Structure 1
Amino acid sequence: MNCKSQGQRAIRAFEDFVSTPLETLLQRRDADFSQSTALNLFYDVAATVPAYQAFLAEQGINPQAIQSFEDFQQLPAIAKENYIMRYPLADLCRDGKLSSCDMIAASSGSTGKPTFWPRFFTDELQIATRFEQIFHDSFYADTRRTLAVICFTLGTWVGGMFTTNCCRYLASKGYPLTVITPGNNKAEILRVVQELGAAFEQVVLLGYPPFLKDVIDTGIASGVDWPQYQIKLVTAGEVFSEEWRSLVAERVGSQNPCYDFASLYGTADAGVLGNETPLSICIRRFFATHPDAAKALFGESRLPTLVQYDPMSRFFEVQDGALLFSGNNGIPLVRYNIMDTGGIISYDAMLEFLAEWGFDAISQLNQEITGDIRGIHPLPFVYVFGRSNFTVSYFGANIYPENVTVGLEQPGITAWVTGKFVLQVQEDIDKNRFLSVVVELSPGIEPNEAKQQAIASSILSQLLRLNSEFANYVPPEYQTPQVSLAPMGDAEYFPIGVKHRYTRREENTEITSDNVAFP
């Protein structure tokens, strides 16, 4: 692609983005239209991407033989191991030209070895629509002067720069939105909010959930009056509980968490795949208080991330419990296995299921907000558990970190802990197995036996409430976890500056997921 055509591509895409209303971008499409879009992406990638051409040849697949969506579904899935890491970076791009992209991000994943992900300006515009959904539908930022404070790490890591660019594109579209980038410098974030926040009608903090909570708690300790800034939060990078959302909402003075929060489901591989909406949050909060309904729909004793997605932008499939997606990007991906477990639910099927349980999410939202209600789009849902090995097995029961998280977010416990922990199954000297939870204490909190017992009791209570396997498989005398308390930044369990791992296996290998959202 020459300079002139690349420039024309950028101009056309930017004109379309700026001139097209969000509602038009999110118009309902039928399944056939979405499937044909995925099929056309395959034809384009097979014709222009050298690595995919080689991959198909190795599999003995003639692209011309793929004539229907049923044929498409038989294509072998690609992943980092069998595709991204096997071919030169340029060959993964269209026409084998890395120069067709204008930016490269890096992700370390759970192995620590960086993977590079090139993209072009037009790829970011596509993702900017996900941010527009949040800023328009949740935050009403088209009518409110808004300060967006980027709290993701800046540099080669995808979250900070990608988020910054997408927010600036919204300003170009006419949103009264101003962006500032303190990154993950906590002192600078607090300075920015206090010195600039009063000049705006609302302040949006965008970052990693535990870090944003740390910023908020540090601000409270130093006298920051969060409610005066009408704080909104955009999060990515980690699953959190609805108890966490409620706790943080209380601390910033939020009266309506469905409209004051939004979490992104994204990856370095392909940007944002889906996003929370007021509707999806309302639904998830129902499931949080009805674990039996959640188990009936999702099939597991833990609450997944629940977002809506645009099948014209990122087309999802489920294969053997794994999520596959297809989408255009600097490295276009066809039936890409992101190594997350989960599923997809159509808009109509979700509302029908909820009706069977006596819940009307749209009516609930109407009760929670006065005036112009937004965030109701007939888009499908994708739910994400993350990687299936992000668990420990105890007496045949799968124990999920999400279950433990809720136990640490109960009243009376939250003031002692940061929210980080390490879950593992260990053996005592007599080879009896026990459930171990090492918990990180907040700064200035001293450990004692009373705290250990209170935390253990809280975790046990939530395990019994949320996890039916645990309640039925684990003998009562083995159910109470053994809690150890460690200081913040403990070198063995909570080293500073590295990605936290919530579980450890018996063989002492640590497991993490880098695909819940932006790393």
Structure 2
Amino acid sequence: MISTLTRPGFAQALRVFQQAARTVPAYAKFLCDNGIDADAVRTPADFAEVPPVTKDNYIRAYPPHELISGGAITGAGTWSSSSGSSGTPTFWARDELSHEHGVDLHARILRGFRAETASTLVVVGFSMGDWIGGTYTFRSVADLHRRDLRVSVATPGMDIDLIRADIAALGPYYRQIVLAGYPPFVRDVLDRAPAAVLDQDIKVLMAGEAISEPWRDNLLSLLGKPDRPQDSCLIYGAADAGMFGHETASSITIRRLAQRDSTFRDAMFGADPVLPTFVEYDPTYRYVETDDRGALLCTVANAMPLVRYRINDIGSVHTAAEVGQALLAAGHDQRVRTNTPTAGFIALRGRPDVAVSFYSVKFAPETVRAALTDPRLSGELTGKFVLDKDLDPAGGDRLRLLVELRPDRALDEAFAVAVGSVFVHTVTEASREYRDLRTRIGTRAEPLVELRPFGSPEFRYAIKHDGRVSEA
């Protein structure tokens, strides 16, 4: 763990806190209600005693204008929304400072792809609606013309045919293409793409959900780049605060080394059988702590400043020096490179309140339970389930829902179809993000339902941190 006496980025976090206490009406009330004297908070130890803010105790507890500096709704330059699976959107405001951070971070990613020397077309395959992915990526990349990067951007959104047409038509005029999108959607674009697309130098920029190293290897094989993991990059971000961190060639190398070396893996990430997402982060942009249950707390300057905001992601924070020490202790002379001297790493294990993320749509356990307790199903099911991701017969990503039958119930394909139908109806009613996904990809948004006999071993475990849930 990082000592609170030497944490990089604390000075900036303290400025965000002090300014929010002075200028944000909701935060001033929050501190008063919790008996916190902002002037008495001066050290990292003092700061660690400030109560975290959450969606429930802060974001949803005040009207949006009171969450913005100055209390004026026009302090928001851009609004994004997230609804998860609750169906109730949460709105997040960003301003020019947030935009500048996005430009800086995308510049680092694209320099990792050598865009300072190679003409680059970024094709944005994220949704271009209210959600942050498409608009945030577009604005950040478009403004890189002010930097030393030779970058253009196209915005076909989540349209596979249009993305392929853009790459085929414009790609030959660029040295390389960066395809940006949710991991399973990127695979959809590349799988069985024509030679006019795949014959070009394509790199991939992904966000919205975790990937495994075997999944990355499979994607790279589609690109004809089995030995170039550095041509891929996964972003850790959210509508709440934009980009928290991103993979680099160094972070990917470290994660793949942990996959091969159990000694280093256990020392670095613990005994969890599933590797966490591992990204570099800049503490001067996102000051990140952990609470006593391992939830990440972030402090970030924005139109809607967040101070010790609990995003509910579980993970750990590491300095570059700590990573280097773990490598040496395991016998590896691997240099740890970062974009800035103070940059560190976040190991992200996921959310205990999210069963799985699919095309960036998050499915909460309570929504799945609501479907399985529907009177049309509950008489046949115990309520135990596993929701995760798998590959369909054609090799594409699909949701997989395993459910446990009550004792003496027989496997029945027609009943499996009924389970899928009720699941789709329930989640469609609860989540507008899922409704949008079904519009875009049709039946591939529906789960592959598998019935299991009572007492099957798949249902023995509690919530895991690998993007899947097993409910007993």
TM-score range, shorter chain: 0.7 to 0.9
> In 1, are the aligned partners of 2:352 and 2:465 still within 8 Å (CA)?
no
- Structure 1 segments of 4+ aligned residues over 3 angstroms from their partners: 30-33, 255-258, 290-293, 360-363, 373-378, 389-393, 414-417, 490-506, 510-514
User: Could you tell me which residue of structure 2 aligns to residue 15 of structure 1?
Assistant: none
Question: Contact between 1:110 and 1:511, CA under 8 Å: does it hold in 2?
Answer: no
Residues 304-453 of structure 1: pairs in structure 2 closer than 5 A = 304-320=276-292, 321-362=294-335, 379-390=343-354, 408=390, 416-424=394-402, 426-430=404-408
- Deviation track 1:285-319 (CA, whole Å, cap 9, x = no partner) reads 11223355434432322111100111110001010
1:107 correspondence with 2:52: no
Instruction: Return the match for 1:96 from 43, 53, 71.
Output: 71
8 Å contact kept, 2:349–2:466 = no
Does the 8 Å contact 2:164/2:197 carry over to 1?
Answer: no
Once residues 126 and 206 of structure 1 are traced to their aligned partners in structure 2, the CA distance between those partners, rounded to angstroms, is 18
Any conservation in 2 of the 1:110–1:512 contact (CA below 8 Å)?
A: no
Q: 1:278 aligns with which of 249, 252, 255?
A: 249
The structural deviation recorded for 1:262 is 0.8
**Equivalent of residue 206 in structure 1, options 168, 180, 205:** 180
Scaled by the length of structure 2, the TM-score of the pair is 0.77
Counterparts of 2:84 and 2:398 in 1: how far apart (Å)?
19
* SS of the residue 1:334 aligns to: strand
SS in 1 for 2:278: strand
Q: CA deviation at 1:33?
A: 5.4
What is the total number of aligned residue pairs between the two structures? 407
Residue 135 of structure 1 aligns to a residue whose secondary structure is: helix
Instruction: Answer yes or no: is the 8 Å Cα contact 2:264–2:326 preserved in 1.
Output: no
Alignment partner of 1:297 out of 242, 265, 268: 268
Amino acid at match of 1:59: N
Deviations 1:131-179 (A, max 9, x none): 111101x210010110010100102211101100000111222311111
Provide the residue aligned with 2:382 in structure 1.
none
Change (3 A) 1:122 1:496: closer
Cα-to-partner distance string for 1:312-341 (whole Å, 9 max, x where unaligned)? 100010102111010101210000000000
Partner of 1:288: 259
Alignment-derived partner of residue 248 in structure 1: 219
Give aligned-pair identity as a percent. Answer: 32
Q: Distance in 2 between matches of 1:162 and 1:391?
A: 26
Q: What is the distance in 1 between the residues matched to 2:214 and 2:150?
A: 32
Structure 1, unpaired ranges of 5+: 1-29, 364-372, 394-398, 437-446, 448-482, 515-519
Q: 1:94 and 1:46 mapped to 2: Cα distance?
A: 10
Query: What displacement does 1:419 show?
Result: 2.4
Partner SS state of residue 339, structure 1: strand
CA distance in 2, matches of 1:251, 1:206: 16
Match of 2:207 among 218, 229, 236: 236
**What whole-Å deviation, never above 9, does each CA across 1:11-34 have from its counterpart, x for those lacking one?**
xxxxxxxxxxxxxxxxxxx93552
1:154 maps to which residue? 128
CA distance in 1, matches of 2:207, 2:296: 18
Rate the CA distance shift 1:188–1:273 in 2: closer, same or farther, 3 A: same
C-alpha spacing 1:238/1:272, structure 2 compared with 1 (3 Å): same
Could you tell me which residue of structure 2 aligns to residue 178 of structure 1?
Answer: 152
Partner of 2:238: 267
Matched-pair contact (CA < 8 Å) for 1:119–1:330: yes
Q: 1:422 corresponds to which letter in structure 2? A: R
Contact preservation (8 Å) 2:220, 2:228: yes
Contact 1:236–1:266, Cα closer than 8 Å, also in 2: yes
Contact 1:422-1:502 within 8 A present in 2 as well: yes
2:9 matched residue in structure 1: 34
- How far does the alpha carbon of each residue in 1:209-235 deviate from its partner, in whole angstroms, 9 at most, with x for none? 00010010141xxx3354431101000
Q: 1:67 deviation in Å?
A: 2.6
Rounded to whole Å, the distance in 2 between the matches of 1:389 and 1:325 is 18
**1:14 maps to which residue?**
none
* Aligned-pair CA distance for 1:41: 1.4
Measured in 1, the distance between the counterparts of 2:222 and 2:393 equals 12
How far apart are residue 104 of structure 1 and its match?
A: 1.1
Q: Give the Cα separation in 1 of the matches to 2:20 and 2:222.
A: 48
TM-fit CA distance, 1:251: 0.7
Cα 1:161–1:362 shift into 2, 3 Å: same
Q: Describe the superposition over 1:233-273 as per-residue Cα deviations: whole angstroms up to 9, x where unpaired.
A: 00000101111111111111225433201111111011001
Distance 1:188 1:498, change over 3 A: closer
Q: Which amino acid aligns with 2:126?
A: F
Q: Kindly provide the CA deviation profile for residues 368-395 of structure 1, in whole angstroms up to 9, marking residues without a partner as x.
A: xxxxx996866211011111244699xx
Alpha-carbon distance, 1:100 to partner: 1.9
- Aligned partners of 2:328 and 2:317: how far apart in 1? 18
**Kindly tell me: are residues 513 and 85 of structure 1, through their superposed partners in 2, closer, same or farther at Cα, counting changes over 3 Å?**
farther
1:369 paired residue number: none
Query: 3-state SS of the aligned residue for 2:10?
Result: helix
* Residue of 147, 171, 174 corresponding to 1:197: 171
Work out the CA distance in 2 between the residues paired with 1:233 and 1:35: 33
User: Following the alignment from structure 1 to structure 2, what is the Cα–Cα distance between the partners of residues 124 and 323?
Assistant: 22
Residue among 254, 257, 273 paired with 2:228: 257
Structure 1 CA distance for aligned equivalents of residues 448 and 83 of structure 2 = 18
Alpha-carbon separation, structure 2, partners of 1:101 and 1:177: 28
Map of 1:131 onto structure 2: 106
Q: Counterparts of 2:64 and 2:264 in 1: how far apart (Å)?
A: 45
- Give the residue type in structure 2 aligned to 1:387: R
Deviations 1:101-126 (A, max 9, x none): 22211111231211111111221111
Verify the 8 A CA contact 1:245 1:257 in the aligned structure 2. Answer: no
C-alpha distance in structure 2 between counterparts of 1:503 and 1:93, whole Å: 43
Per-residue deviation, 1:35: 1.6
Partner of 1:80: 55
Query: Structure 1 residues 202 and 377, CA, compared in 2 at 3 Å: closer, same or farther?
Result: farther
SS of alignment partner, residue 229 of structure 1: coil
Work out whether residues 31 and 37 of structure 2, in 8 Å CA contact, stay in contact via their aligned partners in 1: yes
Give 1:501 deviation, angstroms: 9.6
Q: In structure 2, what is the Cα distance between the partners aligned to 1:501 and 1:178?
A: 35
Q: Given the two structures, how large is their TM-score scaled by the length of structure 1?
A: 0.71
Q: In 2, distance between residues paired with 1:189 and 1:91?
A: 40
Q: Report the equivalent of 1:187.
A: 161
1:44 aligns with 2:44: no
